[in-house]
């Protein structure tokens, strides 16, 4: 291989690397958690449980005005354990 062919191959290789870098760095399409349409009356969020190493999934039932919590149960089964629902009207003092 001549010096010119080595330089050509290196230039082609660098062009491929630049193209891969440009394609990998383009922004992803945005993800919308709740669109503009009707949400069905539910919202959810995860949060770290106080004093624990796991997250809790909180589900808010807006029409029913209740808050539900779900956490991972101990053991290998991978079961999700529910917490007793909270009555938000009662918690916030509105009867």
pLDDT digits (tens, 9 = 90+) for 19-60: 999 888 877 666 566 556 566 788 888 888 888 888 899 999
What 3-state class would DSSP assign to 48? strand
Tokens at 74, concatenated: 């101990």
Tell me the domain boundaries of the chain: 42-91
Does the predicted model carry a pTM greater than 0.85?
A: no
Helix (H) / strand (E) containing 18:
helix 3-25
How far apart, in whole angstroms, are the C-alpha atoms of residue 2 and residue 22? Answer: 31
Residue 70: pLDDT band with limits 50, 70, 90: very high
């Amino acid at each position: 291989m001549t010096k010119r062919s080595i330089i050509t191959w290196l230039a082609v290789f660098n062009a491929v690397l630049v193209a891969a870098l440009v394609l990998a760095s383009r922004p992803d399409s945005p993800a919308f958690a709740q669109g503009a349409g009707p949400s069905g009356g539910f919202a959810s969020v995860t949060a770290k449980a106080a004093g624990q190493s796991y997250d809790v999934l909180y589900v808010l039932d807006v029409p029913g005005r209740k808050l539900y919590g779900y956490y991972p149960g101990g053991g290998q089964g991978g079961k999700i354990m529910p917490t007793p629902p909270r009555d938000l009207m009662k918690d916030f003092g509105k009867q």
